[in-house]
Amino acid sequence: MKDAPHRASWGLWVGDEMSTRVSDRAEDEVSSAARTVEAAVRTRRSVRAFLPTPVPRADVERLLALAARAASNSNSQPWHVYVLTGDAKRQVTAALWDALDFGRTGTDPRYPYQPPRGEWEEPFRSRRSAFGAALYQDTLGVDRGDTEGRDAHHRRNYDFFGAPVGLILTVSAHMRSGALVDAGLFLQSLMLLAREAGLDTCAQASFIDYDAVLREHLPISDDEIVVCGVSLGHADPDAAVNEHRTGREALKSFATFVGEAPHAS
């Protein structure tokens, strides 16, 4: 198995310190399989360049069937997954690239995924720009003003970053906003299970900008909301973009302990 690029600087923020670097070197290799849930959580990251190595259909079926073990409201299981491979995937990509080139978008008004550009408030705004700078400038060498460079990378979203399997995840609109929570659980289960199988993923909301195009090519019913796309495959260990790592805020910034918490003995 090939060694993946190894960055000494990544780790998880725990408490006040940037600590708990992945201690087991094998777990930091992009292509190695995670052996524990913790290893899957630690090694799951958004991979944005894949090898063309196919993923057997039986493996995809197994991952999806297991991901569907995710909890959902009253076991309603409101999700649906469209699995794109081969020519079907190529056709969808071609249609999306056409739409991108002709400036044609079309989002589902039932799913306002994020605040409009320019309306992000703190602390999300700063986190987003830090993420963008780390991905584009530091990892890809694309400057802020380099629209062409940014567009070229953005375009790769619609090719599922070269992954052999592209998924489009939808939920039933009838099941209201709760279905999106269920979809999130399905998605995270899938991404962690992929790590156990030695595979990598990238969740991609970029597909919802072309909701209308997806509906022209896939049998998505009117009741369904397109939640996101997911790239699935073997990470390209030599791709610079896959060296991108993200940090996390300290525990105290998002957890509030109310009441007496017993200390570990």
Binding site for ligand FMN (CB under 6 A): 45-46, 48, 131, 157, 202-206, 228, 246
Angstrom distance (rounded) from CA 8 to CA 154: 27
**Backbone φ and ψ of 154, nearest 5°:** -55, -40
For ligand FMN, the closer CB: 55 or 228 = 228
Q: Give me the least distance between CB of 90 and ligand FMN, in Å please.
A: 19
Residue 57 or 128: the one with the smaller Cβ distance to ligand FMN is 128
Peptide bond into 112 cis (omega under 30): no
Structure tokens at 208: 């919802």
Q: What is the dihedral of CA 45, 48, 52, 55, to 10 degrees?
A: 30
Query: Phi and psi of 197, rounded to 5°?
Result: -85, 5
Minimum separation from the CB atom of position 156 to ligand FMN (A): 8
For ligand FMN, which is the closer residue by CB, 52 or 132?
132
Q: Angle at CA 242, nearest 5°, toward 230 and 38?
A: 70
Nearer to ligand FMN, 19 or 57 (CB): 19
Residue type present at position 213: V
Question: Of the two residues 47 and 262, which places its CB atom closer to ligand FMN in the complex?
Answer: 47
Residue 205 Cβ, how far from ligand FMN at the closest point, in Å?
4
At closest approach, how far in Å is the CB of 84 from ligand FMN?
Answer: 16
Phi, psi of 62 (to 5 degrees): -65, -45
Angle at 49 between CA 46 and CA 55, to 5 degrees: 90
Give the angle 216-217-219 at the CA atoms, nearest 5°: 90
Q: How far is the CB of 226 from ligand FMN (least distance, A)?
A: 11
For residues 72 and 158, which CB has a smaller minimum distance to ligand FMN in the complex?
158
- Kindly state the smallest distance separating residue 206's Cβ from ligand FMN, in Å: 3
Measured between alpha carbons, how far is 96 from 247 in angstroms, rounded to an integer? 31
